[in-house]
Chain A
Amino acid sequence: MVVPTQFGVRAQGLAIGYDGVAIQEGLDFEISTGGIFAILGGSGCGKTTLLQTLTGLLAPISGEFDVLGHGPPDLAVGLPPFGVAFQSGALLGSETLLENVSLPLRRWTDLPAEAITALASSRLRIVGLAGFELHLPAEVSGGMLKRAGIARALAMEPRMLFLDEPSAGLDPVTAVELDDTLALLRDDLGVTTVLVTHELPSIFRIVDDCLMLDRDAHGIIAQGTPAELRDHNDDPRVQAFFNRRPNHA
């Protein structure tokens, strides 16, 4: 049995950035399991960098962190216990959408080919891509690529999902459906989701807990539920974000 953990991610004194130059430092936070957690902040504040660090794609500059009780993820050892969806899909251009989603299933399960095809098409269907199984990534739109990327991240039934701006660039209807899918995964399967997002409707609809980064402060400026931050946080930067106001502070 997997040791049950109370937290999905725990970070202490984490400093992140590129080439030894920290964008964010002294990050202390905990992401509990079974919730949807959002990383918020303006452009260039290091949200994507934090996501890359947590998923093991980028080494931290200093500090410690732990994902699902396994320590920092080591992608060299094999399939991580989480799925990652990238901002613009990052699908392999030479493979169809179906093949892209089948990729991890072929490598990491012993399902027969027929079952893999069925499962991969189901994953595409729940992100609204039924009928596009045999399209190449170059033949579908940007929003569809993004959704196919999420289908691929879901393929291995991960306990945790990292999503980089999943609903940015999607039409409102698809965005809401995607939100509902994430909520369903959380409610039924206890999947922990960590997402970077700017979409206020989506934040208030599904996000349980969030932290807000700031570029100039080089650290976390607020933590809590979206409603708490909106109603009980006096920081002008937080207020500007949640009320869609220009920040003149």
Chain B
Amino acid sequence: MVESSFQVERRSNEQGAVLLELRGDCLLVDGSRVWAVVDQELQAGQGFTLDLSGVLRLDGASAALLQALRLKAERKGISVELQGASTDQQRMLDLYDCTREGAGARTTPANLKVLDQIGRATMESLSSIKDVLAFVGDLAHSIRLSFRDRSSINWKAVPGLMERAGADGVPITLLINFLVGLIVALQASYQLQKFGASIFIADLVGLSMVREMAPLMTAIVVAGRSGAAYAAELGTMKVNQEVDALWTLGFDPQRFLVIPRLIALTSVVPLLTIFSMLVGIFGGLLVAVQRLNLTTLAYFVELEKALSLSDVMGGVIKSVVFAVTITFISCQRGLGTHGGAAGVGRSTTSAVVVILFFLVVLDAMFTVFFNIFGI
């Protein structure tokens, strides 16, 4: 660190006029001492003179601090005079003169009252519902147009998107669903064994995996992997004006960016779901054979009796709806991003939260619907 030679001397004459004499270097490292000395003099509430004739080096930081203190004094109605500055030092002081100009300063927003906050939040959530609906409408229109104008879609991106959302996600999706099947079977095995109903483990695991768990767990994994990625990716593109650039090149960003993602997810999520159903059933099989001493053959014979094709179709249809939901929400949040890197973070968080909420709500609606129609 630089050795500081800053010194200050306080003098007052017979009339009581105070003179602060600054000497040596007056640099950023001395800033806190300069500030403290002059600020203390301000507290006395009397006008005084700052003499800079002994100052060897005055840097921009100290000049800025001295000018800020002078402004502070002025606001208090105290006059502080600066004297003895060399020509160069005076130029530095002039550069940092606080009173020189100043556009209309923005004031800090006042803290909102509770009612204001509730009102504002309500309006925001209402308008966000409107945004989502408008987005869905726009997109439906885009899809219709894109049948006519096939070159408006970025087809080249589709295989890559399918690989990232599908193939790359296979290991984690399978692991999670295998464990879910295993856990469901293990939990049920204690109860079923008590009643001598061990064989029904196949019905239980089979139905719950195929109808509920596999579509939902797969959708949750895809929401975390691809939903978050889409929101962040499109959000960054929006913030970097890439989306605007697409408009100026004659592309509708929705068609160019969203439809390939929609195609990718609606084709890979059902596939992932079918794989998930299978590994979940194998998770159950492991418990049936190891814990309940059933044979593999008995497990599959019972499974065949319990499951019908409509159960599998129900699960697959669900997964398609989930895929559409994930794409819609993540892309809508992504394209609605504003406010730099922080905005991208907000969009991604909100995309994942909203997707999870809708997945659970839709899943409940499906269950009720299937129940009523006896599917």
Query: Which residues of A line the B interface, CB within 8 A?
Result: 1-2, 92-94, 109-112, 115, 118-119, 121-123, 125-126, 130-138, 154, 156-157, 181, 184-185, 187-189
B106 touches A131 (CB 8 A): yes
B64 at the interface (CB under 8 A from A): yes
Q: Name the residue on B nearest A92 (C-beta).
A: B341
B28 touches A109 (CB 8 A): yes
Q: Which residues of A contact B29 (CB under 8 A)?
A: 109
A115 touches B68 (CB 8 A): yes
B251 at the interface (CB under 8 A from A): no
User: How far apart sit A181 and B63, CA to CA, in the bound complex (Å)?
Assistant: 14
Contact residue among B64, B88, B89, B339 (Cβ-Cβ distance under 8 Å from A119): B64
Q: Which residues of B contact A93 (CB under 8 A)?
A: 339-343
Contact segment of B90-98, B288-296, B306-314: B90-98
B102 touches A125 (CB 8 A): yes
Closest CB-CB distance, B225 to chain A, in whole Å? 25
A115 touches B32 (CB 8 A): yes
Q: Which residues of A contact B28 (CB under 8 A)?
A: 109, 156-157
Known: A157-B59, A184-B92. A119 touches B31 (CB 8 A): yes
**Interface-centre pick from B2, B64, B239 (highest chain A CB count, 10 A):** B64
Q: Which residues of B contact A188 (CB under 8 A)?
A: 88-89, 91-92
Known: A93-B341, A115-B65. A135 touches B106 (CB 8 A): yes
B61 at the interface (CB under 8 A from A): yes
B339 touches A122 (CB 8 A): no
Known: A118-B64, A157-B28. A94 touches B91 (CB 8 A): no
Q: Which residues of B contact A184 (CB under 8 A)?
A: 91-92, 95
B35 at the interface (CB under 8 A from A): yes
Known: A137-B340, A138-B340, A188-B91. A115 touches B101 (CB 8 A): no
Q: Name the residue on B nearest A91 (C-beta).
A: B340
Closest CB-CB distance, A163 to chain B, in whole Å? 16
Q: Which residues of B contact A189 (CB under 8 A)?
A: 57, 59-60, 92
Known: A1-B2, A122-B68, A184-B91. A130 touches B105 (CB 8 A): yes
Contact residue among A131, A132, A136, A187 (Cβ-Cβ distance under 8 Å from B339): A136
Which residues in chain B, 95-112, are within 8 Å of chain A measured between CB atoms?
A: 95-96, 98, 100-108
Known: A118-B69, A132-B103, A189-B57. 4 other contacts (CB 8 A): A93-B339, A122-B98, A131-B103, A134-B108
B2 touches A185 (CB 8 A): no
* A-B residue pairs in contact (CB < 8 Å), sample of 11: A1-B2, A93-B342, A94-B340, A109-B29, A119-B61, A122-B96, A125-B98, A125-B102, A126-B95, A130-B103, A157-B61
The B interface is mostly helix, strand or loop, or mixed, namely helix
B32 touches A111 (CB 8 A): yes
B31 touches A131 (CB 8 A): no
Q: Name the residue on A nearest B109 (C-beta).
A: A134
The 5 closest A-B CB pairs, nearest first, are A93-B340, A131-B103, A118-B68, A122-B64, A94-B342
Q: Name the residue on B nearest A130 (C-beta).
A: B102
Closest CB-CB distance, B74 to chain A, in whole Å? 13
Q: Name the residue on B nearest A137 (C-beta).
A: B340
Contact residue among B3, B59, B92, B108 (Cβ-Cβ distance under 8 Å from A1): B3
Q: Which residues of A contact B341 (CB under 8 A)?
A: 92-94
Known: A125-B96, A134-B106, A184-B91. A112 touches B35 (CB 8 A): yes
Q: Which residues of A contact B340 (CB under 8 A)?
A: 93-94, 136-138
B55 at the interface (CB under 8 A from A): no
User: How far apart sit A23 and B68, CA to CA, in the bound complex (Å)?
Assistant: 47
A119 touches B68 (CB 8 A): yes
B213 at the interface (CB under 8 A from A): no
User: How far apart sit A132 and B343, CA to CA, in the bound complex (Å)?
Assistant: 20
Q: Which residues of A contact B95 (CB under 8 A)?
A: 126, 181, 184
**Interface-centre pick from A2, A93, A187 (highest chain B CB count, 10 A):** A93
Q: Name the residue on B nearest A93 (C-beta).
A: B340
Q: Which residues of B contact A137 (CB under 8 A)?
A: 340
Closest CB-CB distance, B82 to chain A, in whole Å? 15
Closest CB-CB distance, A109 to chain B, in whole Å? 6
Closest CB-CB distance, B58 to chain A, in whole Å? 8
Known: A118-B68, A131-B106, A157-B60. A109 touches B98 (CB 8 A): no
User: How far apart sit A121 and B341, CA to CA, in the bound complex (Å)?
Assistant: 24
